[in-house]
Amino acid sequence: MSDILTKIIATKHEEIAAAMRAKPLAAIRTDAEARARAGDLRDFAGAIEAKIAAGHSAVIAEIKKASPSKGILRENFVPADIARSYEAGGAACLSVLTDRSYFQGATEFLQQARAACGLPVIRKDFIVDAYQVYEAAAMGADCVLLIVGALEWNQMLALEALAVELGLAVLVESHDSAELDAALTLQTSLIGINNRDLRSFNVSLSTTTDLLSRIPAGKRVITESGILGRDDVQHMRAHGVHSYLVGEAFMRAPDPGRALAELFAD
């Protein structure tokens, strides 16, 4: 695990402890289970497959105010407006950063974005504890992210099982062949490949293309990071990749949805 990832995970455990003092596990579990019973969930994986079946790229468009390496990405940051823009631009789903310490995210951002549109939403955060899965369900997320590099294998299995129990989809993210092997042991069909090395922060699209041959039929590859221009999209399409998670390329644009539509024009 990289130094920055180790630091982030340590911070997460501190945040979880503070959150549990403010709202005990039993209370957040009650909220999450109530939402699951209410059926207020949008089909995250289904939205991706529907876009691809219609002959379009399936874009998980990210709402992200800042990053640890680049600072503030968007000064005029209104999650509801961005969500509506993404929906108009053809996004399949939304990804909303909820990490406060490193990405200046917030639970409220996810809630505001989801309320403003009809798209399914993934909680983009560093999930390391069951409490956060219950939180994700309670706040209105439709999917959670599990990062192989941040978790032990038995943790991933347990967190995925809990997410499924609550009706949430799971996107499992890997960066190299060893992490991919672990990711493929999960039930989820959503296999994210992060082109950004969390150790060096270098980005290479070959990270995705080099791993494609290892991924069996029935899994949906979602390439993450480094999709900045039309050439990048065409490169991925040529390799049979049609689902993308993109954020920074849109966050700096005056109209994020228009930037999305232009980048992924058929």
Secondary structure (3-state) at 222: strand
Distance CA 177, CA 213 (A): 11
C-alpha of 17 from chain center: 23
Say which of 57, 194, 195, 243 is annotated catalytic.
194
Question: Is 124 noted as a catalytic residue in this protein?
Answer: yes
Distance CA 118, CA 137 (A): 17
Pairing of strands 243-246, 220-224: parallel
Are the beta carbons of 241 and 224 closer than 8 angstroms?
no
Q: Which residue has the tokens 């993210």?
A: 173
Say which of 95, 173, 174, 179 is annotated catalytic.
173
Distance CA 246, CA 224 (A): 7
Question: Is 173 noted as a catalytic residue in this protein?
Answer: yes
Q: What is the 3-state secondary structure (H, E, C) of 63-111?
A: ECCEECCCEECCCCCCHHHHHHHHHHHCCCEEEEECCCCCCCCCHHHHH
Let me know if 64 is exposed, middle or buried by CB neighbors in 10 A (0-12, 13-18, 19+). Answer: buried
Say which of 64, 85, 87, 243 is annotated catalytic.
64
Question: Is 224 noted as a catalytic residue in this protein?
Answer: yes
Question: Is 64 noted as a catalytic residue in this protein?
Answer: yes
Question: Is 194 noted as a catalytic residue in this protein?
Answer: yes
Say which of 12, 51, 65, 124 is annotated catalytic.
124
Say which of 57, 174, 195, 225 is annotated catalytic.
225
Say which of 62, 87, 160, 179 is annotated catalytic.
62
Distance CA 178, CA 183 (A): 9
Q: Which residues are catalytic?
A: 62, 64, 124, 173, 194, 224-225
